[in-house]
Amino acid sequence: QSVLTQPPSVSAAPGQRVTISCSGSTSNIGNNYVSWYQQLPGTAPKLLIYEDNMRSSGVPDRFSGSKSGTSATLGITGLQTGDEADYYCGTWDRNSIWVFGGGTKVTVL
Amino acid sequence: QLMESGGGVVQPGTSLRLSCAASGFTFSTFGMHWVRQAPGRALEWVAFMTNSGDKYYADSVNGRFTIARDNSKNTLYLQMGRLRVDDTSVYYCATDGAHRDIDHWGQGTLVTVSS
């Protein structure tokens, strides 16, 4: 059971928009930056978004991040088949412990 | 670049040491993480070591695993003891980013604990 809560899966047609929620608490999301990671099938995770809403180098502007209180959201617009992957949120928690969400599988219909 | 090694098949109750060779950056100035992923499961943070030597562990491995680094060899280690079947995972090493994130990841090494 992950400290951060994400929906197990989301799906949409090509070109559409999806959002992935990440819910935490004041000890983690509420007082720390959130980052998002993309894990394509069979590969290592890759940093997508840092500091809640900043895109990592080379990440297209179709990807966006936001945060409000103890929840964060990753948005993907103009969905492409290459976006099919697992997406994880992550952040620091108290006592310098890092926590991840349970991951969300994005499926392009 | 980060390159993990040392994975393999081991029996429950035994020990194993993973290594992570770093190159292309000033290793000694970066905090480093170990993150694992059981087959078909989510990412699970394992341990973090700051550039000044402070160490932090997930509850699931605290007291069994030890993170260490040798800056002269640009290498991060994870000494794993009293291994359990549920420690079976791909283990990734990763750098602690400048923006309070985990930014660069290795390709991972598979550890299988099975009798």
SS (H, E, C) B46-104: EEEECCCCCEEECCCCECCEEEEEECCCCEEEEEECCCCHHHCEEEEEEEECCCCCEEE
CA dihedral A65, A68, A73, A75 (to 10 degrees): -50
| Mean pLDDT (chain A, rounded) | 96
pLDDT of B8 strictly over 90: yes
Residue B34 forms contact with A (CB below 8 Å): no
SS3 of residue A4 by DSSP: strand
pLDDT of A1 strictly over 90: no
Interchain pair B100, A50: CB under 8 A: yes
Burial of A33 (0-12, 13-18, 19+ CB in 10 A): buried
Instruction: For CA atoms B37, B43, B46, B48, give the dihedral sign.
Output: positive
Which of residues 32 through 71 in chain A touch B, CB cutoff 8 A? 32-33, 35, 37, 39, 44-47, 50-51, 54, 56
CA distance B29 to chain A (A): 18
SS3 of residue A99 by DSSP: strand
For residue B35, give both structure tokens.
């993150």
| Mean pLDDT (chain B, rounded) | 97
Strands B43-49 and B102-105: unpaired
> pLDDT-derived band of residue A70, with 50, 70 and 90 as boundaries?
very high
Question: Would you say A82 and A38 are in contact if contact means Cβ atoms under 8 Å apart?
Answer: no
Round to whole Å and give the CA distance between A14 and A9: 16
> pLDDT-derived band of residue A90, with 50, 70 and 90 as boundaries?
very high
User: In the prediction, which pLDDT does B99 show?
Assistant: 86
User: In the prediction, which pLDDT does B98 show?
Assistant: 87
Question: Would you say B65 and B78 are in contact if contact means Cβ atoms under 8 Å apart?
Answer: yes
Chain A residues whose CB is inside 8 A of the B103 CB are 47, 50, 56
- Report, as an integer, the average pLDDT of A66-72: 98
Cα-trace Rg, chain A: 13
- Report, as an integer, the average pLDDT of A69-97: 96
Straight-line distance from the first to the last Cα atom of chain A, in angstroms, rounded to the nearest whole number: 28
Interchain pair B101, A47: CB under 8 A: yes
> pLDDT-derived band of residue B58, with 50, 70 and 90 as boundaries?
very high
Which of residues 38 through 77 in chain B touch A, CB cutoff 8 A? 42-45, 48, 54, 56, 58
pLDDT of A61 strictly over 90: yes
Interchain pair B56, A96: CB under 8 A: yes
Interchain pair B102, A35: CB under 8 A: yes
Interchain pair A32, B100: CB under 8 A: yes
In percent, the amount of chain B with pLDDT more than 70 equals 100
Length of chain B measured in residues: 115
Cα-trace Rg, chain B: 13
- Report, as an integer, the average pLDDT of A13-26: 97
Round to whole Å and give the CA distance between A97 and B103: 16
> pLDDT-derived band of residue B92, with 50, 70 and 90 as boundaries?
very high
For residue B70, give both structure tokens.
């040798």
